[in-house]
Amino acid sequence: MNLAEKITQLKEEKNAVLLAHYYQYPEIQEIADFVGDSLALSKKASETEADIIVFAGVHFMGETAKLLSPHKKVLIPDMAAGCSLADSCSAADLETLRNEYPDHIVVTYINCSAEVKALSDYVCTSSNAVEVINNIPKNIPIIFAPDKNLGKYLIKETGRDMVLWDGTCVVHEAFSFDKLLDLVQAYPLAEIIAHPESEPHFLKTAHFVGSTAALLKYVQTSDKTEFIIATEVGIIHEMQKKVPHKTLIPAPIDEDNTCACSECAFMKVNTLQKIYDCLLNESPEILIENAVLDQARKPIEAMLEFSFSGK
């Protein structure tokens, strides 16, 4: 058997479910039980009867799966699969900021650690962030962490003034505006669609701004046939499956790399071999202290009480 077949067999033997984020390699997406955004995947897994969750993504995603499925064993293929955005905001530093603004509530983007979530009043996703902010009474001031670009986008969309954490995603800050202009000349009919973690000047050029799931939906429902995609290149695999007749061009980055696109090095540490090994050995496992787990789940539940899609 090849690796994909061995993984499928192991999943059946161990009653495991394999989750793959949109930014994973195509071969990982192809064998996953569910492909999607981080919170949507964690919710899907929590609704299954699986005993084991294997999350092919990054560390904070495995933690989120554990928060929603505390009694399931959650594995990730490689503990080195971190996140520049999550790493930019430690719990200790956020607590210091929170103490500086004691009358503010804390809203954190889901791309953060369980310890940071435990200090939050609400967690949001890129899909529901505008709704979360709009549902907080206007007389209550807000700290938003850790993504300052998403925070600036939310200030623009909601009109709320917020204290922003100074964090960014290296993937969405890598895009080259000058190269984008050249690309627009080459594809004058293409629409630019972008993730809100991108820099403000890049978002101003976009015809549509949305979460990864929203971008995927947009290319399916739009009558346009050419798109420049400003997010991690892994999403193009699923997009192209949905719209094989459309032209999808990754937004260019400053660095000259092999794909002329923005790749997340953390996402790309996962491989089929690592997925097989982690499922075989049931390691590495995501473990969260009970006190942190209970506290970190509260802001997620507060968000879900609004009945948002949360993708």
Q: Which residues are annotated as a binding site for iminosuccinate?
A: 21, 38, 109-111, 126, 195-197, 212
Strands (DSSP E) along 125-260, which ranges?
Answer: 142-145, 162-164, 191-194, 208-209, 226-230, 247-250
Residue positions in the annotated binding site? 21, 38, 83, 109-111, 126, 169, 195-197, 212, 264
Distance CA 45, CA 63 (A): 13
Distance CA 11, CA 5 (A): 10
Residue 105, phi then psi, degrees to nearest 5: -95, 160
* Cβ atoms 266, 83 nearer than 8 A: yes
Max Cα distance, the chain (Å): 61
Look at phi and psi of residue 227 and say left if phi exceeds 0, alpha if psi is from -120 to 50, else beta. beta
Distance CA 191, CA 229 (A): 9
Residue 285, phi then psi, degrees to nearest 5: -110, 140
Please report how many Cα atoms fall inside a 13 Å half-sphere around the Cα of residue 60, on the Cβ side.
Answer: 26
Residue positions in the annotated binding site for [4Fe-4S] cluster? 83, 169, 264
Structure tokens belonging to residue 52: 């084991």
Please report how many Cα atoms fall inside a 13 Å half-sphere around the Cα of residue 139, on the Cβ side.
Answer: 0
Angle (CA) 267 272 277, round 5°: 105
Q: How many CB atoms lie within 10 A of CB 80?
A: 14
Distances (CA, A) of 88 to 80, 101, 121, 170: 16, 19, 19, 11
